[in-house]
Amino acid sequence: MTTPATSPTAVDAVIIDYNGVIGRQPSTLMWRCLAALAEWPADQLDSFRDAFWAPREAYDAGELSDLAYWAKVLGHHPSPRWLRTLIAADTAMWTGTDPFVLDTLYLARAEGLPMVLLSNAPAHLSNVLNATDWRRELMDDALYSARLGLCKPDPAAYEHALAATGVDDPSRVLFVDDREDNCQAAAELGLRTLHYTGQLADLAQELLPAPADSFGA
């Protein structure tokens, strides 16, 4: 069970996930385009996704290079040019953001709320995210699995993020993630949690002093 903060005044800092919260999930069309670039049979999108995700945790944790990851997905080593194309398309799938979530975070930031990004992301994606305006303007720090060498829900990932907030008491820090297992792991360390399911009002209620229904759906 998640344990969201009861009011904005109960939160001294926020640790927030990227994909599924700030970042939008890729569309089916994006998946089809990536599968086509990988020269996967057009009628086997599900098998492509299975191949894509099977080594992804190791890739996110920095245990696999770009070449090693895509070799596992494809079953053979791509050429250097093909690899660059795959990396670019893969990265582009994860860089679309939810403007309503960002608006809410900017409002919370204007109230002086410290924020730390904690994301399972490969190195190339982390470099792209770090170069965005919202990352520089909103986040006091950004921690990525490929740079930490571990992925959520490893407790050490949360410990690094908590240290980055500068708040000693984990019960004063809100962790926001779209995966319930990640929230559960954070709760076990004493963090407040919000399992984000796309309901912006829930996020606004935790972070902003105004009523949640004054923000977008």
The pLDDT assigned to 10 comes to: 73
The pLDDT assigned to 217 comes to: 43
The pLDDT assigned to 1 comes to: 36
The pLDDT assigned to 209 comes to: 76
The pLDDT assigned to 210 comes to: 55
Distances, alpha carbon 190 to alpha carbons 9, 21, 66, 183, 202, in Å: 17, 21, 35, 11, 20
Q: pLDDT digits over 68-96, tens only? A: 999 999 999 999 999 999 999 999 999 99
For residue 56, the surrounding DSSP H or E stretch is helix 56-60
Q: Residue written as tokens 């796309």?
A: 198
Could you list the mean pLDDT of each consecutive 10-residue stretch along the chain, which spans 217 residues? 44 96 97 98 97 98 97 98 98 97 96 96 96 97 97 97 96 97 97 96 88 48
Per DSSP (E only), the strands in the chain are 13-16, 115-119, 141-144, 173-177, 192-195
